[in-house]
Structure 1
């Protein structure tokens, strides 16, 4: 009889869980609240994951004894100690010994390339890059937060836009439509009114990051300062990927890159400058969307942990079942 695995993608706002059989058929999926280990704490993480698992089993009418492995990719669980603590939360359940815990970035990497080597660049409010080589070595670049890094992120784009607008106001920077548009965006009378709002955190880093689409819009309309910010963003993201490629000794080899996150809604304006940095490592570059979402990356890793071969047939089955899935519950 068929056996099953569960994959979970635990982010800062929600957690996606999927139940997949070991031939690649999506059986059930559900969503629960955040399971960020650092932000929510162990008991909340346990409660949400058990709720999600229970829903999956109830919707599919599958007993817990049929679950071979569970793979949780959780925000805030990047350290080995954190992973051990999360596993221990389930020692009094029937899933003891069947659980693997990793960071949410790792399952995004595994899903993007269906557990094969490659590099992911993640850019939303923040930015980080991960890569894996044929030997399974995983390295990272960036992700040091908005105070110490996050170059290439939505926040970095928004901050650069505000700086450009203020420099225009001062007369020490070139004229830019950003000044008027940001003033309107925050219902200000003058752009200098933004200063106390930022320092008092009334305009926080998320609101600053949300200026990114405006910058892309003005760049497409020919605003020189916005074009410069977009070019610099592509370069910074390319530098993240180049650092990872160098650490993984990808020089001269095919480099597969997947782009993840809200900033890449405008990926056409970024790809050339990302590629320009990577061409210093190899001319054989491919930049694409992820093959699978992170929760399915977790499910694939669960399969590998019980020695299921991840072959083309299984991946085709998984892709088709995701596309054709109808949730009747």
Structure 2
């Protein structure tokens, strides 16, 4: 677990011009991007109205590298502008939350590269904020309040805000190191269970049969064929997760055990963050991410696990990551108009 007391965003130098939104609270253009582990979601707002939306593949730096991440992010920006026939210079603020960035140096690196790529292609990016996808999600969930958010999607992470805008995180180290309980982790555990079952090291699981249905090249008589398919990116860990849950719901004990362990690991995230709060009242906890939003078996088991801990109070999110990015953008516009 790691605490970050510094300001949690990297922002480009303020433009010398005032935002064109200074005369009206609804006269602004903001592009918000939520760059997650599986997909990237971009929205262009003009005033309070959503004018354009665009979805692309992952911009997670750990998956595609910083260069590709920034190129994909810029492409989302350009597609959004193109769809409403405006120039990038017409946008007041760009707010980008990327999976795989946390340190200020990481945020500055991505920010500078996005602006350099845009400039090299003849585009103007004025006020740009690059931060973590977790931070825009937290802003969407809580606004200005204290609490803990646990995000469960391709990855998993907990983030707490407490005191005078202090932050602490738990988990979120990537599937290469951790991300226990996440979509990618569940899928990887499922694959491990399949390999163990084929070897005879563990009980049989019907996940073996379901994998054969979605991976035609997987031949159980030649188990190495699944390794070949994985190396050729025929599938990814998180694509196996729905099958693991399906098997668990059908009574497969091996897969049920995986989901139960996932729920336990996910509950550890907010519990580990509780020590940052001095109040004796229950700490508010919001759950977010694809695993939660889709009302999966894992989300149900997680809520059951959390119900055992009265020191946590589960609350609904005020909004999503895009809502959080928009609010950050409005704050930047407000600051610009004070100058």
CA deviation string 1:274-328 (max 9, x = no partner)? 5535744x4442154x4333222111012223448xxxxxxxxxxxxxxxxxxxx
Aligned positions of 1:96-245 closer than 5 A: 96=126, 98-133=127-162, 135-187=164-216, 188-190=218-220, 193-195=222-224, 197-198=226-227, 201-202=230-231, 204=233, 206-245=235-274
Aligned mates of 2:53, 2:188 — CA distance in 1: 36
Aligned mates of 1:107, 1:205 — CA distance in 2: 32
Q: 1:293 aligns with which of 317, 320, 335?
A: 320
Q: 1:84 aligns with which of 108, 133, 148?
A: 108
Could you tell me whether the CA contact under 8 Å between 1:117 and 1:133 is conserved in 2?
A: yes
User: 1:44 — aligned with what?
Assistant: 71
Unaligned runs of 5+ in 2: 1-22
Could you tell me whether the CA contact under 8 Å between 2:54 and 2:76 is conserved in 1?
A: no
Say which SS state the counterpart of residue 97 (structure 2) adopts. Answer: strand
Unaligned runs of 5+ in 1: 309-329
CA deviation string 1:8-43 (max 9, x = no partner)? 21526545032253xxx2252332756667433597
User: 1:29 — aligned with what?
Assistant: 52
Could you tell me whether the CA contact under 8 Å between 1:139 and 1:248 is conserved in 2?
A: no
| Aligned CA-pair RMSD | 3.7
Change (3 A) 1:193 1:181: same
Say which SS state the counterpart of residue 222 (structure 2) adopts. Answer: helix
Aligned mates of 2:306, 2:211 — CA distance in 1: 31
CA deviation string 1:175-232 (max 9, x = no partner)? 4322333344434442x63345327743659533212111211221222222111111
The structural deviation recorded for 1:50 is 5.5
The structural deviation recorded for 1:257 is 1.5
Change (3 A) 1:278 1:136: farther
Could you tell me whether the CA contact under 8 Å between 1:17 and 1:52 is conserved in 2?
A: no
Aligned mates of 1:94, 1:54 — CA distance in 2: 12
Aligned mates of 2:297, 2:185 — CA distance in 1: 19
Aligned mates of 1:62, 1:163 — CA distance in 2: 47
TM-score by length of 2: 0.71
Aligned mates of 1:205, 1:249 — CA distance in 2: 48
